Structure 1
Amino acid sequence: MANLHDIVQWCNQTLKANEFKDYAPNGLQIEGKAEVNKIVCAVTASEDAIDAAIAEKADALLVHHGYFWKGEAYPITGMRGNRIKKFIQNNISLIAYHLPLDAHPSLGNNVAIADLIGLQNLEALDPSEKHPIGNIAYLDQPLSPEQFKAKLQSIFNFGIIHLPCDKTSIQKVGFCTGGAQDFIAKAASENCDAYISGEVSERTFYEAKELGVHYFACGHHATERYGVQRLANALANQFMIEAVYFELNNPI
């Protein structure tokens, strides 16, 4: 059993959470019981994830997408009120890390998908960033766009959307998990052959074609399953607590 605030402090320090300008607070968002024996991790703090934490008799829910996003209304009512009520009634903490969990060089979403795809020699997608949110890396051997799409399909088990350009070979790949489709321009400026993110916009079709970068939308949820699991497993080893992953497949 571990102290909640020791766990949060370790995460904050490990992920360098205070060095990011983010869209929501990173760290402890809802405070529950002081001692933690078991955590459930999930991509998003949905009601299903909260119910899973309750069913598992967990003391905390660790997620990538938490609450209190910039621009949201302040009142704790409706869907969000119902979710927060469940945390409080069951004395369960909510711990969330957004951009720090994308960027971490060993626990993060980006490095996790690089490992899965077999991309090597990671570089920053934007060299001006202190903690790069996106990355560039390389395949050992070049692949055709069709071969690369098939590879991604087998890894993410997602209906990959490929927006093509004229290039016939892919080796240098830019990537940023989640909803980072607009970083395709950065990938083009770094002469990437392809760029991977989770979601896609109408404009992305034209950008891929005109910028000369193959774009692959691999799913917002599908590309961000991995950081919370790596972080939860690190916490389990560091604090000798139990960690369980909850998966609710989101087709977006």
Structure 2
Amino acid sequence: MSVPLSLLVAEANRLLQPENFQDYCPNGLQVEGRQTVGKLVSGVTASLALIDAAIEREADAILVHHGYFWRGEDPCISGMKGQRIRRLLQADISLLAYHLPLDAHPTLGNNAQLAERLGLLVEGGLQPEATFPIGNYGRCARTLSAAEFAGQVEKSLGRKVLLEEVGDRPIERVAWCTGGAQGYLTQAAVLGVDCYLTGEVSEQTIHEARELGLHFIAAGHHATERYGAPAVAGQLAADLGIEHEFIDIDNPA
């Protein structure tokens, strides 16, 4: 079964509500291909490897978290960007990308999906006053040591994590934000949590965690954001009666 591309885009926009976000890139349809979609591929980043894999799978459209046209980048369609977009256009494949809207969705987004995998009970948003918060805070199913919680994260994500263990404070309450969100560490501390988990770490992050008295875990940008795009694409495919496949292009970052 196939559906019009316009219907897929409309349903994705209805689900993720990109109009409610001030983002670093355009959200929605970024590259337009054929006008019908029977197979949708999802992935984390619209890399050339993902595009080639989607072509091999005979996909009509790709839905990702990290697309193109980021604020401040060279707008020229040349070099690496030109190669990626040329490959999409030659294959007549559409690209849909959702950045902050896909982070923030309360059940299908990156943060909600990560919480589900780690067994975390969501209590609120990392920005408590925000209507559409990016990141969350909540509770573990049971009290854990920092090492035990880090081990649980490693088992769930299938990769080693960086743990900065600050004292012997047990972990009951956690704040988290997937991807490159180490800058939210101070906001997490204000919420009174015991640990902050994100994807990336900067040099200053470790000093901040120590001085704030907060355990810190960097679990990988890619690893923490593997779950939102396939959850959204899977829901869209089920609603529209089309085929969906998630393709995970390995990335240790």
Q: Deviations over 1:66-93 (max 9, x none)?
A: 0000001111000010000001111000
Q: Map residues 1-252 of structure 1 onto 2, 5 A cutoff.
A: 1-252=2-253
Q: C-alpha root-mean-square deviation of aligned residues, in Å?
A: 0.8
Q: CA deviation at 1:62?
A: 0.7
Q: CA deviation at 1:145?
A: 0.6
Amino acid aligned to 1:222: A
Query: 1 CA distance for matches of 2:35 and 2:122?
Result: 41
Amino acid aligned to 1:142: T
Indicate conservation of the 8 Å contact 2:120/2:141, yes or no.
Answer: yes
Q: CA deviation at 1:59?
A: 0.4
Gaps of 5+ in 1: none
Runs of 4+ in 1 over 2 A off after TM superposition: none
Query: 2 CA distance for matches of 1:207 and 1:63?
Result: 32
Q: SS of the counterpart of 1:231?
A: helix
Indicate conservation of the 8 Å contact 1:167/1:213, yes or no.
Answer: no
Indicate conservation of the 8 Å contact 1:167/1:193, yes or no.
Answer: no
Q: SS of the counterpart of 1:140?
A: strand
Q: TM-score, normalised by structure 1?
A: 0.98
Query: 2 CA distance for matches of 1:165 and 1:185?
Result: 15
Q: CA deviation at 1:124?
A: 1.0
Q: CA deviation at 1:144?
A: 0.4
Amino acid aligned to 1:241: I
Q: SS of the counterpart of 2:233?
A: helix
Q: CA deviation at 1:140?
A: 2.1
Q: CA deviation at 1:212?
A: 1.2
Q: SS of the counterpart of 2:6?
A: helix
Query: 2 CA distance for matches of 1:63 and 1:102?
Result: 12
Query: 2 CA distance for matches of 1:194 and 1:167?
Result: 12
Query: 2 CA distance for matches of 1:52 and 1:88?
Result: 15
Q: SS of the counterpart of 2:71?
A: coil
Q: Deviations over 1:27-64 (max 9, x none)?
A: 00000011000011110000000001110111001100
Instruction: Number of aligned residue pairs: give it.
Output: 252
Indicate conservation of the 8 Å contact 2:122/2:136, yes or no.
Answer: no
Query: 2 CA distance for matches of 1:51 and 1:112?
Result: 27
Q: Deviations over 1:88-145 (max 9, x none)?
A: 1110000000000000011100010101111114311111211000100101211001
Q: Deviations over 1:136-191 (max 9, x none)?
A: 01012110011111101101112200112124200100000000011010010111
Amino acid aligned to 1:248: I
Q: SS of the counterpart of 2:235?
A: helix
Amino acid aligned to 1:184: L
Indicate conservation of the 8 Å contact 1:41/1:244, yes or no.
Answer: yes
Q: TM-score, normalised by structure 2?
A: 0.98
Q: SS of the counterpart of 1:232?
A: helix
Indicate conservation of the 8 Å contact 1:184/1:195, yes or no.
Answer: yes
Query: 2 CA distance for matches of 1:242 and 1:127?
Result: 37
